[in-house]
Amino acid sequence: MAERKGMEVSIAIAEAASACDVDCIAAYPITPQTHVVEHLSEIVADGDLDAEFIPVESEHAAMSCCCGCAAAGARTFTATASQGLALMHEILFIAANLRLPMVMVVANRSLSGPISIWNDHSDVMTERDVGWIQVFAENGQEAVDLVIMGHRMSEDKRILLPLMVNFDGFILSHMVEPIEMPTREEVKRFLPDYEPQQRLDIDNPITMGPVGMPVVYTEAKMAAEWAVRDAYKPMVEIMGEFEKEFGRKYKPVETYRTDDSEILFVVMGGISETAMTWVDKVRDAGVKVGLVRFRMWRPLPVEDFKKAIAGVKVLGVLDRHFSPGGPGGPMAQEIKYMLYGQDHAPKIVETVVGLGGRDVNFIDFDQIFDRCKAVLGGAPVPPFELIQVRGGHYGKA
Amino acid sequence: MPKQSPAPDWQDLALGTAITEPGSSRYQRTGDWHSSAPVWDLDKCIKCGVCAVFCPEGCIAMRADGYPEADMEYCKGCAICVCECWAACIAMVEEKE
Amino acid sequence: MLELRFHGRGGQGAVTSAELIALAAIAQGNFAQAFPSFGPERRGAPVMAFARIDQKQIRNRTAVSNPDAVIVLDPHILHVANSSDGLSKDGIQIVNTMRSADEVRKEYNLKGRLITVDANHIAEQEIGRVITNTTMLGALIRATGVVEKELLIDELKVRFGRIAEGNINAFNRAYEECCVEEG
Q: Is the pLDDT of residue A1 over 70?
A: no
> If pLDDT is split at 50, 70 and 90, which confidence band does C183 have?
low
Report, as an integer, the average pLDDT of A225-249: 98
pLDDT score, position B1 = 41
Domain spans in chain A, listed from the N-terminal domain onward: 4-246, 253-386
> Which chains have at least 3 CB atom pairs separated by less than 8 Å from chain A?
B, C
- Determine whether the interchain pair C62/A359 forms a contact, defined as Cβ–Cβ distance below 8 Å: yes
Which helix or strand (DSSP H or E) is residue A160 part of? none
Tell me which residue in A160, A197, A206 faces B19 most closely, judged by beta carbons. Answer: A206
pLDDT score, position C144 = 94
pLDDT score, position A10 = 98
- Determine whether the interchain pair B16/A205 forms a contact, defined as Cβ–Cβ distance below 8 Å: no
Domain spans in chain C, listed from the N-terminal domain onward: 2-180
User: Percent of chain A scored above 70 by pLDDT?
Assistant: 99
Alpha-helical regions (H) of B1-97:
50-54, 80-84
Q: Which of C156, A3, C101 is nearest to C147 (CA)?
A: C156
Q: B20 vs chain A: nearest CA distance in angstroms?
A: 5
Residues 174-193 on A with a CB inside 8 Å of C are 174-178
| A126-148 as b/e: b if 16+ CB within 10 A | bbeebbbbbbbbbbbbbbbbbbb
Q: A180 vs chain B: nearest CA distance in angstroms?
A: 37
Report, as an integer, the average pLDDT of A356-361: 94
Q: What is the pLDDT of residues A88-113, one digit of tens each?
A: 999 999 999 999 999 999 999 999 99
> Which chains have at least 3 CB atom pairs separated by less than 8 Å from chain B?
A
Q: What is the rounded average pLDDT for all residues in chain C?
A: 94
- Determine whether the interchain pair A219/B16 forms a contact, defined as Cβ–Cβ distance below 8 Å: no
Residue B16 lies in a domain: no
Angle B79-B82-B86 from CA coordinates, rounded to 5°: 155
Work out the number of other CB atoms within 10 angstroms of the CB of residue A309. Answer: 23
Do at least 3 CB pairs under 8 Å connect C with B?
Answer: no
DSSP A246-280: H-----SEEEES-TT-SEEEEE-TTHHHHHHHHHH
Which helix or strand (DSSP H or E) is residue A333 part of? helix A330-339
pLDDT score, position C114 = 96
Looking up residue B36, the CATH number of its domain turns out to be 3.30.70.20
Residue B12 lies in a domain: no
pLDDT score, position A224 = 96
* Regions of chain B where pLDDT drops below 50: 1-3
Q: Is the pLDDT of residue A261 over 60?
A: yes
DSSP A55-99: E-SSHHHHHHHHHHHHHTT--EEEEE-HHHHHHHHHHHHHHHHTT
Residue B24 lies in a domain: no
> If pLDDT is split at 50, 70 and 90, which confidence band does C126 have?
very high
Residue A105 gets which letter from DSSP?
Answer: E
Angle A34-A169-C152 from CA coordinates, rounded to 5°: 75
pLDDT score, position A396 = 66
Residue B20 lies in a domain: no
pTM of the predicted model, to two decimals?
0.93
> If pLDDT is split at 50, 70 and 90, which confidence band does A200 have?
very high
Amino acid at B56: P
C173 three-state secondary structure: helix
Tell me how far apart the alpha carbons of residues B16 and A96 are, in angstroms, rounded to a whole number: 8
pLDDT score, position C175 = 97
* Residue ranges making up the domain that contains B81: 30-94
User: Percent of chain C scored above 70 by pLDDT?
Assistant: 98
Least confident range from A327-331, A353-357, C35-39, C99-103: namely: C35-39
Nearest CA in chain C to A174: C35
Same topology, domains A4-246 and A253-386? Answer is: yes
pLDDT score, position B3 = 47
> If pLDDT is split at 50, 70 and 90, which confidence band does C95 have?
very high
**Contact with chain A for residue B16, Cβ under 8 A:** yes
Q: A119 vs chain C: nearest CA distance in angstroms?
A: 9
Report, as an integer, the average pLDDT of A378-392: 94
CATH architecture of C2-180: 3-Layer(aba) Sandwich (3.40)
Domain A253-386 CATH (choose: 3.40.630.10, 3.40.50.720, 3.40.50.300, 3.40.50.920) = 3.40.50.920
| A343-369 as b/e: b if 16+ CB within 10 A | eebbbbbbbbbbbbbbbbbbebbeebb
Residues from chain A that touch C58, judged by Cβ atoms under 8 A, are 177
- Determine whether the interchain pair C59/A274 forms a contact, defined as Cβ–Cβ distance below 8 Å: yes
pLDDT score, position A394 = 85
Residues from chain B that touch A212, judged by Cβ atoms under 8 A, are 17
Fold of A4-246: Rossmann fold (3.40.50)
Number of structural domains chain B divides into: 1
Residues from chain A that touch B3, judged by Cβ atoms under 8 A, are none
Residues from chain C that touch A267, judged by Cβ atoms under 8 A, are none
pLDDT score, position B95 = 81
Cβ pair A356, C39 in contact under 8 A: no
Work out the number of other CB atoms within 10 angstroms of the CB of residue A77. Answer: 30
Q: Environment class of residue A255 by beta-carbon count within 10 Å: exposed (0-12), middle (13-18) or buried (19+)?
A: middle
Tell me how far apart the alpha carbons of residues C104 and C95 are, in angstroms, rounded to a whole number: 9
Report, as an integer, the average pLDDT of A347-374: 96
- Determine whether the interchain pair C33/A177 forms a contact, defined as Cβ–Cβ distance below 8 Å: yes
C-alpha Rg value of chain A to the nearest Å: 21
Q: Which of A275, A291, A357 is nearest to C60 (CA)?
A: A275
Tell me how far apart the alpha carbons of residues A267 and A335 are, in angstroms, rounded to a whole number: 12
Tell me how far apart the alpha carbons of residues A275 and A281 are, in angstroms, rounded to a whole number: 10
Tell me how far apart the alpha carbons of residues C142 and A3 are, in angstroms, rounded to a whole number: 28
Residues 6+ away with beta carbon under 8 Å from C39: A117, A118, C47
Strands (E), chain A: 4-8, 24-27, 52-55, 76-80, 102-108, 133-136, 162-168, 176-180, 253-256, 263-267, 289-294, 296-298, 314-319, 347-352, 385-386
